[in-house]
Amino acid sequence: MKDRDNEGRSSQLGTTANLLSFSAGDYEFAHWLSNIGEAAGTLFSGAFSVQLPDGTRHLAYCLDASCPFDTEQDCFGVPVARTDFARDNSCTPLSNDDQSATHDRIVWIARNSYPAVPLEELAAAAGADGLTRQDAIAATQVALWMLTNGVLFAGLLEADFSVTARVLAVIDYLTGPANVGAPEQATSTQTTEPGTVIHLRLDNNRNLLTDTHYLVLSGADVDYEALSCDEPEESFPRRLAA
């Protein structure tokens, strides 16, 4: 017997023409960090490298720190509208009736941080001299989790003060007064521009993952290489006892 609800839902979420792909291992670890906000503990930050239908690669960031994800599995992503994200997402700021402003701020971060904006430009805007790719990725991920999960950044682990200061400067910039929000495009479910929300699926038949997992797409990853970073073996994101 067919599941008519899921069948109808899949038809609304996208077609093969606009599927994005994520290959096992294409997750780039950036920095460990300490969270003293909701569900306090230790998290690791990083970004997903996803391939667009035209063959280009973009970085994408997690939108729910509480949702585990196995980065060692192939899956596909389908662009979705904010209404689908708000309905399914368990994060309080995005599941209530007044979530539009928060979503607009998420879109703004995706369009105004790395790699949608070059490192040098982001560093200048944030006052973060010496900013590295890993610093920018960590700061962007933390800024997004602050909006979606109430994460409160308490510093990096295994990093010196200058690195933490750069990351904090970018976080403050991305979540501060400069972030006036950027409404998503009306055609966001048909495009893959920075700020598009992606719903991950296990295969091109759009079967759901065990846990609903959403990413937000950022800019083209011009520095992409087949990733073989020393990321933790546990599924992403990881939270340890405080």
pLDDT tens by residue, 221-236: 877 765 444 444 444 4
- Chain segment 95-116, per-residue pLDDT in tens: 454 577 888 999 999 999 999 9
Q: Say whether 160 sits in a helix, a strand or coil.
A: coil
Q: Note the pLDDT of residue 17.
A: 52
| Cα diameter, the chain | 59
Phi first, then psi, for residue 31 (nearest 5°) are -145, 150
- What local confidence, expressed as pLDDT, does residue 145 receive? 93
Q: Is 187 exposed, middle or buried (0-12, 13-18, 19+ CB in 10 A)?
A: exposed
Phi, psi of 128 (to 5 degrees): -125, 75
Helix/strand/coil (H, E, C) string of 57-78? Answer: EEEEEECCCCCCECCCCCEEEE
Determine whether 203 is exposed, middle or buried from the number of CB atoms within 10 Å of its CB (0-12, 13-18, 19+).
exposed
Give the chain's residues under pLDDT 50: 1-16, 91-93, 95, 97, 186-188, 204, 206, 227-242
What pLDDT does residue 2 have? 34
Which 3 state secondary structure label does DSSP give 11? helix
pLDDT of residue 90: 53
Which pLDDT score is estimated for 135? 96
Burial bucket for residue 235 (CB in 10 Å: 0-12, 13-18, 19+): middle
Please name the residues in contact with 11: beta carbons below 8 A apart, sequence gap of 6 or more: none
Place of tokens 């990096």: 156
Q: Who's near 37: CB < 8 A, 6+ residues apart?
A: 146, 149, 150, 151, 152
